[in-house]
A and B are shown apart, each in its own frame.
Chain A
């Protein structure tokens, strides 16, 4: 029996996908649930598991071809299906015949998608977002007419937290967003434990706000010992309102070994209490998963340079009041930095690429992610086509994204598709950090705190405003030569910026 495989829908708003790579050749055996093709969209790259066991008979969509979701991409002959005796031999042009069969079955599927029938078109089952999967594409899209209970492979099974998020009423979602309540920490008092609007309002009155993570993308950083001292939590536990500290001996960890975590009390990320468990929010789970994935996939190397931003600093200070008044957005160092980064990326395109088994794909777009740390979450909204914006335009674009991130209003489209990431770690006072690459990108750069330091200029000691710039790189893609060429280019551009330049 021939089963036509269609382009899966990798995310709610995705309408088409590109065949990135065929993992199987025509004639290869394919196990059910075995990845047989890699598909990329503007949101996600995913290996698509086969809905059936069989032999890959026909490839309809070639590598690099972009087809709409639901369009046939391949035909698999199912194992155990009765192949017509001598069919292959007696059909000189099997692919043509199969192609028409595929069209017929695609046609058939339109008429009765709910009823799997022999020779039907089967949507590929749950997909596995790869490390650079964008938010919103996370949970597997249920296959249309696919096998029941097609298992997901890596953590796609519904988790409690996600389930809670999926079943909330519009009012609860809106209120949670308005009051920045993390629904995972809210106990529902409605029917079957449903979280009601009043539960959200009660949680908002009681607890310190923890930012809900409906959509997240992680581009995290690892701080070095310079940052080892824990910074104060952004939201201090309020007296009398923190979660009850476990007091009975039964809830204390046994002195001898690992505590029985099932018996341990709970606290929240924003107000952690020793001896309690902070439940993993969906955001935290995804962050954890992507951190591990990125580090495990891309061999990280690290390098750093010092940049003299004295003139740039003066320029920015000169412009910032007027800019704020005229444009309504603050003028930080970030847009200057992004501007110089994009210029340096143009000159060093390998930095704006991603590693695939086929080769290093050099991106033609400059979509710059900016990492924004929130109380309990980390988001990386993306400034699209950053190469088309001036410094002032970048300041406005970044200002809008930061505002949306803080109010929980970022859309999925604003969180995906980054090609390179900038992390303003200096905003937290860091002078040296070692970021983890945002999965699927080649490198990440940080801008550390601007510090006045004595430096040698023309054999004299001068006081200059200095900034460290750190770069983590995927050593599969980049080496020290290419990386430092980029860093030095970036340094030159930053040091050349001066009062009077065009904003």
Chain B
């Protein structure tokens, strides 16, 4: 990441907004399309005022038709535009599955490289906001199996800007996941001007030598909080923010696990077949002889959805307390 001198403190919503604004300003090929992105300025007010400034040809309000949103964007991207499609909530992405998996991800391969699909699909995901069944879901595992598709899930404002810029620049489709609970709860310094962070690079947020914790999204912040708590007990935990889910930064994970010899994976999405399963399998394949404890996954329960009732939501979400307990158990193991 090129460190630009001046920085501004902002939250994640502001980071997304600023990045989109600068992209629209600097490149006429960029456009935004989705439900309520125009007149309403997006449900989180990310695109407020964009319609007035850039006009209805570049800020396109669409019907509630996700397959069309992505399908039209795929065509635009193949013909040289840089569409940034928005799925209002990740929970609504299913109708667009065929366009994303069957079309966007395969464009380059199918056309033998004649066409690429420089498309970004942004969508807020994740729970813990009383969003109930239709506003809480994590969708990354449904897509990470698909070659040809990149998936990014940053958790800090500066990473959002650098990775969203890289996603817009990328010649192939990128699914850009924004955890809605971090939208206004997370603040941080963001460098001014255009910069990118390479897709597929994780970041060690805090160094430690007794346990590696890999997470992404909201839980990076909570894992950092938990690591701080166990540090008070003299335990040294390394926390890695995956940032990109695919491509996955194997090197950073393996280097860390080879150092600490223990791995805890934390994610909000449910456990079965989740991102943690891939990480665990990869580590066992590559670093089996360095492991001093069974790999552990702390994940959402395998239930169909996050309940609206507070006890159900709390049971689904993993608190820093539970993370700290798991960290202690693994360090002591």
Contacts and interface: CB of A to CB of B under 8 A. Distances in A.
A196 B288 CA distance: 15
A170 B332 contact: no
B293 interface: yes
A345 interface: no
A195 to B, nearest CB: 9
A172 B333 CA distance: 13
A330 B213 CA distance: 49
Contacts of A64: none
Contacts of B329: 191
Interface in A69-84: none
B290 A170 contact: yes
Contacts of B289: 170-171, 173-174
A40 to B, nearest CB: 34
A196 B292 CA distance: 7
B246 interface: no
A174 B289 CA distance: 6
B333 A197 contact: no
B261 interface: yes
Contacts of A196: 292, 333
B333 A191 contact: yes
A169 interface: yes
B292 A197 contact: yes
Interface string B280-291: 000000001111
A301 to B, nearest CB: 48
B261 A171 contact: yes
Contacts of A169: 261, 291-293
A190 interface: yes
Interface string B258-275: 000100000000000000
Contacts, number: 28
A173 B291 CA distance: 10
Interface string B322-333: 000000010011
Contact of A194 (B261, B288, B290, B333): B333
A398 B290 CA distance: 31
Given A171-B261, A197-B261, A190 B333 contact: yes
A71 B232 CA distance: 59
Nearest to B329: A191
A201 to B, nearest CB: 10
Interface string B287-309: 01111110000000000000000
Contacts of B293: 169
Contacts of A171: 261, 289-292
Interface string A162-182: 000000011111100000000
Interface string A297-316: 00000000000000000000
B290 A174 contact: yes
B308 to A, nearest CB: 38
Contacts of B292: 169-172, 196-197
A190 B332 contact: yes
B289 to A, nearest CB: 5
B333 A170 contact: no
Contacts of A174: 289-290
B326 to A, nearest CB: 13
Nearest to A191: B333
A191 B293 CA distance: 11
Of residues B292, B293, B329, B332, which shows the largest number of chain A Cβ atoms within 10 Å of its Cβ? B292
A210 to B, nearest CB: 21
Interface in A147-172: 169-172
Contacts of B288: 170
Nearest to B209: A198
Nearest to B258: A171
A438 to B, nearest CB: 32
B90 to A, nearest CB: 38
Contacts of B261: 169, 171, 197
Contacts of B332: 190-191
A190 B331 CA distance: 9
Nearest to A175: B292
Nearest to A172: B292
Contacts of A170: 288-292
Interface string A216-256: 00000000000000000000000000000000000000000
A191 B331 CA distance: 10
Contacts of B290: 170-171, 174
A194 B333 CA distance: 7
Interface string A403-433: 0000000000000000000000000000000
Contacts of A173: 289
A137 to B, nearest CB: 24
A187 to B, nearest CB: 15
A169 B293 CA distance: 6
A165 to B, nearest CB: 15
A309 to B, nearest CB: 45
Contacts of B291: 169-171
A134 to B, nearest CB: 25
A170 B285 CA distance: 13
B238 to A, nearest CB: 15
Nearest to B332: A191
A28 to B, nearest CB: 49
Contacts of A197: 261, 292
A191 B332 CA distance: 6
B243 to A, nearest CB: 27
Interface in B209-268: 261
A169 B261 CA distance: 10
A197 B258 CA distance: 12
Nearest to B293: A169
A337 B239 CA distance: 60
A191 B296 CA distance: 15
Interface of A: 169-174, 190-191, 194, 196-197
Given A171-B292, A191-B332, 6 more contacts: A171-B289, A171-B290, A190-B333, A194-B333, A197-B261, A197-B292
Interface of B: 261, 288-293, 329, 332-333
Task: Give me the 7 closest cross-chain CB pairs, A-B, nearest first.
Answer: A171-B292, A197-B292, A169-B292, A174-B289, A170-B289, A171-B261, A191-B333
28 contacts: A169-B261, A169-B291, A169-B292, A169-B293, A170-B288, A170-B289, A170-B290, A170-B291, A170-B292, A171-B261, A171-B289, A171-B290, A171-B291, A171-B292, A172-B292, A173-B289, A174-B289, A174-B290, A190-B332, A190-B333, A191-B329, A191-B332, A191-B333, A194-B333, A196-B292, A196-B333, A197-B261, A197-B292
